[in-house]
């Protein structure tokens, strides 16, 4: 299996990239005096990590018949000081909010994503230390 994307330069520092699903994302960077129109490519990697693991967790919890929660993920990527700058450490915090949360099943779902299913997390492990935390917030 392979994924193929096409990325087109749209002028200035703006790029439009498609996805095998047919959807598009705009990417750019800070340029003094110019409005930002897209997402930073590096930060988009962090979003991909959260999205990949989040999809796993929600799917696993659905199979466990757990549906009384809200999920928010925060990812902090720490960059190296020297070029080429890359994330040397990534911290992924899962925040579950709800009433009477089943912490055991939620922790199990998160662990399955981290250890078995999330391919983006495995890619990150190849170049960064990945730390994860699960937080529970009762309504």
What does the pLDDT average to over 2-8? 95
Q: What is the pTM of this model?
A: 0.93
Model confidence at 29: pLDDT above 80: yes
Model confidence at 123: pLDDT above 90: yes
- Whole-angstrom distance, CA of residue 47 vs CA of residue 92: 10
Q: How many helices (H) and strands (E) does the chain have?
A: 3, 6
- Whole-angstrom distance, CA of residue 62 vs CA of residue 28: 36
pLDDT band at 34 (very low <50, low <70, confident <90, very high): confident
Q: Are residues 6 and 18 in contact, defined by beta-carbon separation less than 8 angstroms?
A: yes
What does the pLDDT average to over 88-116? 98
- Whole-angstrom distance, CA of residue 52 vs CA of residue 112: 12
pLDDT band at 113 (very low <50, low <70, confident <90, very high): very high
Model confidence at 5: pLDDT above 90: yes
Residue 35: its pLDDT value, please?
Answer: 82
Residue 31: its pLDDT value, please?
Answer: 76
What does the pLDDT average to over 43-71? 97
Residue 130: its pLDDT value, please?
Answer: 98
**Lowest mean pLDDT across 35-39, 112-116, 121-125:** 35-39
What does the pLDDT average to over 28-49? 90
């Amino acid at each position: 299996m392979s994924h193929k994307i096409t990325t087109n330069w749209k002028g200035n520092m703006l790029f439009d990239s498609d996805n095998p699903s047919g959807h598009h994302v705009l990417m750019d960077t800070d340029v003094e005096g110019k409005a930002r129109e897209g997402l930073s490519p590096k930060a988009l990697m962090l979003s991909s990590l959260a999205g990949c693991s989040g999809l796993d967790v929600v799917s696993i919890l659905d199979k466990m018949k757990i549906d009384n929660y809200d999920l928010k993920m925060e990812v902090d990527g720490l960059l190296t000081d020297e070029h080429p700058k890359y994330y040397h450490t990534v911290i992924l915090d899962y925040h579950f909010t709800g009433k009477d949360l089943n912490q055991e099943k939620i922790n199990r779902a998160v662990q399955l994503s981290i250890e078995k299913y999330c391919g983006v997390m495995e890619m990150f492990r190849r170049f960064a230390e990945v730390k994860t935390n699960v937080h529970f917030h009762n309504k």
